[in-house]
């Protein structure tokens, strides 16, 4: 992918998603930089860079997924090491940006942890951040450095077009699992030329949701639930069960980030969701690769973005 005239680019990876990092550098026609990211016996993180990066355009691939704090510290220490080794520019490539849901004060005395993480990345020495589907797009404004927030929806859309083709327009409805996802679902539905429906829910406490009402016609339809992430899967499975009970023919679901923590896998197995599509922004461990789950890679998208950033070209085409 990279021109023969392009040089002085180096791509490194910490430990959160090595498989994705390997796929990205393969698309770029490069090899991962030589480094070691390990732990001392007391749990402190150790980073060793085993090649010169002086004057290089450095990209560090690391999703801050589970274990979130370990992965975040790995990234921060790696950035610091690169800065002290005189890298010309350091881009933090974060397919999944952890702490993004703590983006505002929902109650008195709440922290705004997404802003704190932005400050830490900048203070460590990052010159740019490359991520995908931030939970709240306004997080870009937390940074005083450039942030490219890639969109995962085109990959999801292409999957369903390839799978269902012309049947989409006559049989399917895209469903937003809550009011906050309506804009995302509307754009998804427009690409597939299908109608949308909305679930109005009440959340009595964290990670617990209760379906209240379904706005739109889903009876006798095949529905696709669309969200940016699925964590404990309470919202998405409650929504799927409610849709099925109220006349949906079958229920599929898709998301960019398959966090899938806590009781998520059990809930998915027992729910009305027949298949779940996720992108590989977070490593899918063996225990999560059940028959219901399909995975599409973001490697091509991030490889293109890294290439464009390195060459100083616009990456706006990747947002379509």
- Which token pair is 247? 């006349």
Instruction: Give how far the C-alpha of residue 277 lies from the chain's centroid of Cα atoms, to the nearest Å.
Output: 13
- 305 phi and psi angles, rounded to 5 deg: -65, -45
> Among residues 201, 205, 266, 311, which one is catalytic?
201
Q: Residue 205 and residue 227: Cα distance in Å, rounded? A: 19
**Rounded to an integer, what distance in angstroms lies between the CA atom of residue 106 and that of residue 53?**
42
Verify whether residue 201 is a known catalytic residue. Answer: yes
Distance CA 245, CA 37 (A): 49
Active site residues: 201
């Amino acid at each position: 992918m990279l021109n023969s005239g392009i040089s002085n680019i180096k791509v490194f990876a910490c430990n959160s998603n090595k498989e994705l990092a390997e796929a990205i550098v393969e698309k770029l026609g490069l090899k991962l930089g030589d480094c070691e990211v390990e732990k001392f016996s007391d749990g402190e993180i150790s980073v060793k860079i085993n090649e010169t990066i002086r004057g290089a355009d450095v990209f560090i691939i690391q999703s801050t997924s589970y274990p979130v704090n370990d992965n975040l510290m790995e990234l921060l220490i790696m950035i610091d090491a690169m800065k002290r080794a005189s890298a010309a520019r350091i881009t933090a490539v974060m397919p999944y940006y952890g702490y993004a849901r703590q983006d505002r004060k929902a109650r008195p005395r709440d922290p705004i942890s997404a802003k704190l993480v932005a400050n830490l990345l900048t203070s460590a020495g990052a010159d740019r951040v490359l991520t995908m589907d931030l939970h709240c797009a306004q997080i870009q404004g937390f940074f005083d450095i450039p942030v490219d927030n890639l969109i995962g929806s085109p990959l999801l859309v292409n999957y369903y077009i390839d799978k269902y083709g012309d049947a989409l327009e006559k049989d399917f409805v895209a469903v937003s699992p809550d009011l906050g996802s309506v804009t995302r679902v509307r754009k998804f539905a427009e690409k597939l030329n299908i109608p949308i429906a909305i679930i109005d829910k009440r959340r009595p406490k964290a990670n617990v949701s209760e379906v209240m009402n379904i706005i739109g016609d889903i009876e006798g339809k095949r529905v696709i639930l669309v969200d940016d992430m699925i964590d404990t899967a309470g919202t998405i499975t409650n929504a799927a069960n409610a849709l099925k009970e109220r006349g949906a023919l079958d229920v599929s679901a898709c998301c960019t980030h398959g966090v899938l923590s806590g009781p998520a896998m059990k809930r998915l197995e027992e729910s009305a969701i027949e298949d779940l599509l996720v992108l590989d922004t977070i490593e899918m461990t063996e225990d999560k690769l059940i028959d219901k789950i399909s995975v599409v890679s973001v490697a091509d998208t991030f490889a293109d973005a890294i290439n464009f950033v390195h060459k100083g070209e616009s990456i706006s085409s990747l947002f379509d």
